[in-house]
Chains A and B, each alone.
Chain A
Amino acid sequence: MPDSHAIAESAHETAHQAGHEHPSYLRHHFESVEQQADATNFAMWLFLLTEVMFFGGLFTAYLIYRNWYYPAFVAASHQLSIPLGGFNTLLLITSSFTMAMGVWCAEMKKKSGLVLCLVLTLILGLGFLGVKTIEYSEKFEKHHVPSYHYSLNSFLNPDSDEAAKASGDKPMALDMARHTEVYFSLYFAMTGMHALHMIIGIAILGFMIFRAQAGAYTSGHVTFVENFGLYWHFVDIVWIFLFPLLYLISRH
């Protein structure tokens, strides 16, 4: 250990003995717990703004291509299941609620309540990914995943496809039918990036459940739970826009 560090350490020790009291979680470069919480909250929001720009680019691409290749986007969106998408929306909105309740439990120093809320949020998140897996596997089965094996069958010959037939789709010209691949590219890019955010969130939730059981967030220091809550709600908001834009607006 370098000498200067040792001196700083011992000076720190002396200061603590001399009545420089503060909670263990308050970093020394902050004046107060409140200032530390405000700064961390601000940083989290700045990160979320970069995320808004990231997903915003995808939404803009979707908006422009949907206007260019409108018939292809309408027919391709008929391939998505509204019951499954709607059910996933319920799961995600409820998980946002349980997360918000988790933040409340942490603030009220209710340890078991916090653990319960985090576990429920984790289960609802996993449920969402489970339903997404069912939806994705159906796309693989029907060769609706953009690739060399992409199949135009549902769009050139809608009577052969249950979903297309139910929506009353008319056979499409080949050059327009080919643009359904653009829809599915954007579908997989947007829902895939959203699912990746969910997976990262679920991993952090798992970590938080262990820490919460050890009482880490119920001793007055709730910043981590609060900021994770912001992230989780942001992911919820992305889905609130994805669901109508991908599943609903071309349905009637």
Chain B
Amino acid sequence: MSEEAKHSEHEHHIVSPKVYGAILVALLVGTALTVWASYVDLGVLNPIIALAIACTKATLVVLFFMHVKYSSTLTKLTVFCGVFLFLTLIGMTLADYISRAWGQW
């Protein structure tokens, strides 16, 4: 059994509390930044900046709190497929809505 354990695709990596602490600080700074940015009138850029900050925060959570950075290729591929499928579905839905006259009454 101990022989087989070595065939495991990756070593189990224990993320240190220092990393968790750094990510917590980054997430709190991100939250402060997004609240501050929302009070500045940037026109169409407002939602884009808000989403960019949210995506950055979500990436930090996925990579470090959810250990994907230290996970097997299978996990990384699974996460990537999920994000890719979600964006594809949103893209196809939007392609349909913007290419019709729906909602123009």
Residues of A within 8 A of B (CB): 21-22, 31-35, 37-38, 41-42, 45-46, 48-49, 52-53, 56, 59-60, 63-64, 67-68, 82, 86, 89-90, 93-94, 96-97, 99-101, 104, 107-108, 226, 229-230, 233-234, 236-237, 240-241, 243-245, 247-249, 251-252
Contacts and interface: CB of A to CB of B under 8 A. Distances in A.
Main secondary structure of the interface of A (DSSP, over half): helix
A96 B58 CA distance: 12
Interface in B12-56: 12, 14-17, 20-21, 23-24, 27-28, 31, 34-35, 38-42, 46-47, 50-51, 53-54
23 contacts: A32-B1, A32-B4, A45-B75, A46-B78, A48-B82, A52-B86, A56-B86, A64-B94, A64-B97, A90-B31, A96-B61, A97-B21, A97-B65, A99-B65, A101-B20, A104-B16, A241-B58, A243-B34, A244-B50, A244-B53, A245-B54, A248-B50, A252-B42
Contacts of B89: 53, 56, 60
B5 interface: yes
A33 B54 CA distance: 36
A21 B1 CA distance: 9
Interface residues of B, number: 55
Contacts of B78: 42, 45-46, 49
Contact of B90 (A56, A82, A101, A226): A56
Nearest to B9: A38
Contacts of B16: 104
B46 A104 contact: no
Contacts of A251: 38-39
Contacts, number: 140
A168 B72 CA distance: 52
Contacts of A243: 31, 34, 54
Contacts of A60: 89-90, 93
Contact of A244 (B51, B61, B82, B86): B51
Nearest to A39: B74
A53 B103 CA distance: 25
Interface string B55-80: 00110011011110001101100110
Contact of A31 (B4, B75, B103): B4
Contacts of A48: 82
A244 to B, nearest CB: 4
B38 A249 contact: yes
Contacts of A82: 35, 38
Given A22-B1, A240-B58, A68 B8 contact: no
A136 to B, nearest CB: 21
B44 to A, nearest CB: 10
Contact of B15 (A21, A33, A45, A104): A104
B28 A248 contact: no
B78 to A, nearest CB: 5
B86 A100 contact: no
Contacts of A94: 24
Contacts of A53: 85-86, 89
A240 B46 contact: no
